[in-house]
Structure 1
Amino acid sequence: MKVVAVLYPDDNPDRHPDVAASTARGLDLAERLEADGHEMASTSDTGDGLDEHLADAEVVVTTPFWPLYLGRERIENAKNLKLVITAGIGSDHIDTSAATEHGITVAEVTDSNVVSVAEHNVLQILALVRNFVPAHQQVLDGRWDVADAAQEAHDLEGKTVGLVGLGAIGARTALRLKPFDVTTLYYANHRRSPADEATLGVRYARLDDLVAESDVICAALPLNPGSGALFDAERLEAMKPGSWLVNTARGAIADADAVRKACESGHLAGYAGDTWYPQPAPADHPWRDMPRHAMTIHYSGMTVEAQRRIVAGVHEIVGAHLAGEPIPEDYVVAAPSPEGES
């Protein structure tokens, strides 16, 4: 069996000993696989050169922060492929319909980085509301203009925060916001029970109402056909003037050009997140140099602790596959229909 892992290129593994999701470490799979007579190929190539590796691969491992965009054509050419694993959460870079049609299971490491991303959400909310980035930039520039930094710095307490999506990450974000004494609204396809709402300190709102009432909006939902460009020019215009938007979900949930224009006009007081489209973000991506942003590269779910959970989950999934056992259901994103079912 051949396993291909498409991972972040690390030119200095000695400096980054805790970065397991890199070509240098290869999620620590190689030794285990080779001991059992299997082949492991670790690459950072997501272009045409990858196809040679995929031609005889049975398992492919990819990540959300250095994604292999695995579309129908590439899937159809990978004749031996049986399993695709996302080392993390979020498999929107994989055509799951094409995969299952060709007998391929798609899995990811559920809950591996929800704590990490939830913490990052709160970090970036505070960075925007407190005007942290411009104040920090003054230090780097040798300035000391308190008025300039304080003009757009606010308390989070008393604000209304809207969470779009209340899955595992959204729920943990809500819990972490409770001590800030904010009003937390949420919109989701499935409303939580009254007991859950009380525990999380949230109140349900229709999406349009949440957008109109929130001082801060945090996107915490998966990318699917219904959420692409969810925050387009029209929805951004419906947000409160001077409100903030955080998106650690997926870059394509927001219209890149519309976000830039809203930040340039000041209608958005700021935009933050760590997800871009495409990834890695090109040097000329419109968010890189727009005003009022607190963007980072896509690393919120790749803390050292999250990577340990990811490695453990990938090993569990690969181990089940090697043993011919079912992959734990909570890891399965999409699976072929059993033979005989339509």
Structure 2
Amino acid sequence: MDEQTKSWRIVAVRRLSEAQLEALSEVAEVDYFEDVDESNRADFMAALSRAHGLIGGKLELNEAMLAEAPALQVVSTISVGYDHLPLKALNQRRILLCNTPDVLTETTADTAFMLIMATQRRLVELSNLVRDGGWRTHIGPEYFGIDVHGKTLGIVGAGRIGAAIARRGALGFGMPILYTAASSKPALEQQLGAKRRELNDLLAEADIVCLSVPYNSDTHHLIDADALARMKTTAALINIARGKVVDEPALIEALHSGGIRAAGLDVFVEEPLPPDSPLAAMDNVVTTPHIGSATHETREAMAQLAVDNLLGTLIGSGPLTAVNEHVWRRADAIEET
């Protein structure tokens, strides 16, 4: 590797294997941080100030930090979502942003369906009943769940993950599928018999409402008190999108009052979920700690795609999955500092 290439610098944070770090080290000087907190923030910022590339999971980055990183050319996040990153500022500074779609689609759809099953059949509540010694006689109607097969599944956001959830519901459980999307999805309609609905109509018709939309200003509190009031009192809400897509206090009230029957939540406004949150103690809520893509195979594939995006940009072959590809400049245009 020539000295010009080796003069590139990369900051890596979390989720990278030794083999992936070695691959990065072959083309650049790498500063690796297992985590970033107050104890090493100064070291992290010093490394970032010299870096051409930043890669990692749950990256912390804002406009003030970008101002301290004049050489930065590419940010490669190990996630499909990028609402935690300042896209507008990255565009203004012509910094490429790469994410990791596709490789987590099926795993995240599995998580959604796990929450659907657990919520409908009261899995956690009944498992706790057995664990705590409360199972002393035949289970009666007070512990019965609700069937999944044949129920109407409403998908709010029919992108890659939403479509994968719809396939599981329609093909595996015979569920009629409703969906919302900015445009119609002919493949879903032809293959699964899915029907496009406006959000309010979907909420009123669906037995299970599954949120699979990106978080932005348009989807902030998309599910608020009015939206929850439109749902059936027997319906369940599943959220694998982002916590702020739902008005959490309104959801808690709807669950307490019987406005909706149950919720399965993998994401929350505040993460980790505070132990004193009402959501953590409600029998009609199934909570998981943001594990949508959390399998060994998928997290490895996500990290590898992030590495390939970063290396592809630095060596000039180009990123595989860029959010803002229009700002990309080839490696030979990178100004070394």
Q: State TM-score, norm by structure 1.
A: 0.85
What residue is the counterpart of 2:323 in the other structure?
333
Q: By how many angstroms is 1:146 displaced?
A: 4.8
Distance in 2, Cα, partners of 1:162 & 1:205: 9
Give the match's secondary structure for 1:287: helix
Root mean square deviation of aligned Cα: 2.2
Aligned position for 1:15:
none
Equivalent residue number for residue 237 of structure 1:
229
* Residue 142 (str. 1) matches residue 133 (str. 2): yes
Query: Aligned runs of 1:297-308 on 2, under 5 Å?
Result: 297-308=289-300
| One of 79, 100, 104 as aligned partner of 2:70 | 79
Distance in 2, matches of 1:101 and 1:272, equals: 38
**Residue 18 of structure 1 aligns with which residue?**
none
Instruction: Provide the C-alpha distance between the structure 2 equivalents of 1:187 and 1:84, rounded to a whole number of angstroms.
Output: 31
CA distance in 1, matches of 2:71, 2:231: 48
Residue among 244, 254, 258 paired with 1:262: 254
| Alignment-derived partner of residue 307 in structure 2 | 315
Residues 95 and 328 in structure 2, CA contact (< 8 A), matched pair in contact too: no
Tell me if the contact between 2:157 and 2:213 (Cα under 8 Å) persists in the aligned partners.
yes
The corresponding residue for 2:59 is: 68
* Conserved? CA contact 2:98–2:306, under 8 Å: no
Identify unmatched segments of 5+ residues in structure 2.
1-7, 330-337
2:334 corresponds to:
none
Change (3 A) 1:267 1:250: same
Matches within 5 A, 1:130-209: 130-144=121-135, 146-147=138-139, 151-178=143-170, 179-193=172-186, 195-209=187-201
Residues 34 and 274 (structure 1 numbering): CA distance in 2 closer, same or farther, change over 3 Å? same
Q: Secondary structure of the residue that 1:240 maps to in structure 2?
A: coil
Answering whether residue 47 of structure 2 is matched by residue 53 of structure 1, we say yes
Instruction: Report the CA distance between 1:41 and its aligned residue.
Output: 1.4
CA distance in 1 between counterparts of 2:218 and 2:209 reads 18
- CA distance in 1 between counterparts of 2:328 and 2:21 reads 31
Kindly indicate whether the alpha-carbon contact (under 8 Å) linking 1:244 and 1:270 is maintained by their aligned counterparts in 2: yes
Alpha-carbon offset, residue 51 of structure 1: 2.9
**C-alpha distance in 2 between matches for 1:275 and 1:315:** 26
Query: Does the C-alpha gap of structure 1 residues 286 and 104 become closer, same or farther in structure 2, counting only changes over 3 Å?
Result: farther
C-alpha separation between the residues in 2 aligned to 1:132 and 1:283? 21
Any unmatched runs of 5+ in structure 1?
Answer: 8-20
Change (3 A) 1:135 1:338: closer
* Corresponding position: 1:35 with 2:9: no
Query: Which residue identity does 1:245 align to in structure 2?
Result: L
TM-score scaled by structure 2?
Answer: 0.87
The answer (yes or no) to whether the contact 1:34–1:40 under 8 Å persists in 2 is no
Shifted more, 253-262 versus 73-82: the winner is 73-82
State, as a whole percentage, how many aligned pairs show the same letter: 27
CA distance, structure 1, for counterparts of residue 55 and residue 208 of structure 2: 35
Larger Rg: 2
Distance in 2, matches of 1:325 and 1:72, equals: 28
Q: Structure 1 residues 336, 4: CA separation in 2 closer, same or farther (over 3 Å shift)?
A: same
Provide the rounded CA distance (Å) in 2 between the counterparts of 1:98 and 1:271.
36
Offset from partner CA, 1:284-309 (integer Å, 9 cap, x none): 44533344111101112121221232
Would you say how many aligned residue pairs link Structure 1 and Structure 2?
A: 317
Aligned partners of 2:327 and 2:23: how far apart in 1?
A: 30
Aligned partner of residue 288 in structure 2, secondary structure: coil
